Amino acid sequence: MAILNIVKDGDELLRKKSRPVEAITPRIEALIGDMIETMRKANGVGLAAVQVGILRRLVVIETEEGNPRCFINPVISERKGSDEGVEGCLSVPGVWGKVERPSEITITYMDEKGVTHTTVETELAARCLCHECDHLDGILFKDKATEFFSREDLEEE
């Protein structure tokens, strides 16, 4: 497995819409492993393929330590509730912002074996998946943030 370079804000790639994954190939399987390693190395909880330069509808999250999850061609079909929280992004280093997200989502996706699932996700997983799915459509958290913070601001709180 390899640690991949994370695309940073200002790169026009982050503003493009990602294309669906057509098939689970050895290349996609390797990408999933590399994305998980890259996310962990960067101390992130989520990573979209576009953030490592691949315009495919693929995200990985690890909201529970030791339990990385892969979402291929994810579609959020239902959003419930509302929760405002502070988010950061590996592609926007040093900046955090308050973002309102649903507290519960229903999401349909394929896993790394090609099996389709529909699950209800809540709390951090819901926030993380909304954030990562936004990446797949060229949207950054800062587009939705109502207030911004630096590392120093967060350490003072």
Which of the residues are catalytic?
132
**Phi and psi torsions of 144, nearest 5°:** -110, -10
Map 65-113 to HEC letters: CCCCEEEEEEEEEEEECCEEEEEEECCEEEEEEEEEECCEEEEEEECCC
Residue with tokens 């790169």, as numbered in its chain? 11
**Phi and psi torsions of 86, nearest 5°:** -90, 130
